[in-house]
A = this chain, B = another copy of it.
Amino acid sequence: MKDITTIVTDLCRGAKAASRELAALDTAAKDAIIADFAALLVSEKDALLAANELDLAAADENGVPKVMLDRLKLTDARIEGIADACLAVCHLPDPCGEGERFKRPNGLEISAVRVPMGVVAMIYEARPNVTADAATLCIKSGNACVLRGGKEALHTNRAIVTLLHSALEKNGVSTGAVAFIDDPTREGTAALMNMRGLVDVLIPRGGKGLIRFVVKNAHIPVIETGAGNCHLYVDEGADLNMALAVTVNAKMQRPSVCNAIETLLVHEKEAAAFLPLLRNATEGKLILRGCARCCEILPEIETASETDYETEYNDYILACRVVDSIDEAIAHINRYNTGHSEAIMTRSLKSASRFKAEVDAAAVYVNASTRFTDGGEFGFGAEIGISTQKLHARGPMGLKALTTVKYLIEGDGQVRS
């Protein structure tokens, strides 16, 4: 049996070779692969659900928390949603070949043209829709991909990749274009992170632990995504009913995802009114943990520790803190946030301006839920991830984030003097 480094190297070599086939395809040819895959997702739904059942049973046995099971679970409706998301990618404009052309005084004609990256590697955790989204976006942008999903979704991911390979084969493209590391150990991940010269970009998508592990150990370019320690700040004078609705949505509509909030900050003038409102609206469904001043107002809640403010719960838990001013709120956010999504509820133009200018994050909201940080919600179509770093792409990353630029310079013998 081959060792895992050899297996991963072979997969990456295959992906590199297939990346040249993909780069040469026109938009219609790429769309045909995606449309065939979307059709297979629906026609082979039963096989997918059966594979997903195996994963769910194993996860349940291993005591995986309920919110995580929700991330893992496929249903008829979710499969159709995944297929629709793939088809939506067909309707997006192809970024490859876009660009501009300009002429220099010496007669050189320079074109700056968008081209595929080459090979995009993804390391991700439980959600199996990432397998379909990532592969589809890579195909549309002319990239091969190497996928390494979480062990919890191994059977489901394997089944999805089988369908992707069928769609590639049907269209005469090497199956190496979507390579799948069918080994959920850390060794596979470690090998992938060292494929210098074979992998052009590595996108880890998951919790803080995964991101930190990748950033620390990768020797290839990385885009950090998805870690979301997000905050909502209720400013002095905010509309408290609106603030309540937005807080409940941002925390509870889907707590397992990265754009859900983890900490609520409330101006001291509003805390005595707002915290009981929130407690009453969420009692029995949401656990609140607060600073000393929160606990004075809601004596029944637990005290929040430093660790709470650092934690992305991904669960029905919300840390709370009373602040003296917007300055304290911004300072708290810039200390603990992961550069994802941050919101202020306010009626003050000055507070809104300061919050937008001073909070350092990919998406800064005024009077709206952080849950909108999403490629689809922004109108970009499906996304490959949400970048929490400042390089290359920030926020929801769509097709353009999967391309690079190439300068083509045409002359008739120009030399530099």
Contact = CB atoms under 8 A, between A and B. Distances in A.
Interface of A: 20, 24, 102, 104, 108, 110, 117-118, 200-201, 215-216, 219, 221-223, 239, 242, 245-246, 248-250, 253, 352, 356-358, 360-369, 371-373, 377-379, 389-392, 394-395, 404-417
A147 to B, nearest CB: 19
Contacts of A239: 413
Nearest 9 A/B pairs, CB to CB: A368-B411, A249-B415, A390-B404, A371-B416, A392-B392, A242-B413, A363-B407, A368-B414, A391-B392
Nearest to A363: B407
Contact of A391 (B201, B246, B410): B201
A357 B108 CA distance: 18
A413 B24 CA distance: 46
Nearest to A358: B20
A390 B245 CA distance: 43
B216 A390 contact: no
Given A371-B416, A413-B245, A118 B390 contact: yes
A118 B409 CA distance: 33
Nearest to A405: B394
B118 A372 contact: no
A377 B416 CA distance: 9
A20 B360 CA distance: 11
A118 B360 contact: yes
Copies of this chain present in the complex amount to 2
Contacts of A110: 378
A19 to B, nearest CB: 10
Contacts of A356: 408
A371 B413 contact: no
A339 to B, nearest CB: 10
A193 B259 CA distance: 30
B409 A372 contact: yes
A216 B219 contact: yes
6 contacts: A245-B415, A246-B413, A363-B406, A367-B414, A390-B404, A395-B407
A76 to B, nearest CB: 20
Identify the interface centre among A219, A389, A416: most chain B CB within 10 Å of its CB.
Answer: A416
Contact of A104 (B363, B379, B389, B411): B379
B223 A391 contact: yes
B219 A415 contact: no
B365 A411 contact: yes
Identify the interface centre among A118, A391, A408: most chain B CB within 10 Å of its CB.
Answer: A391
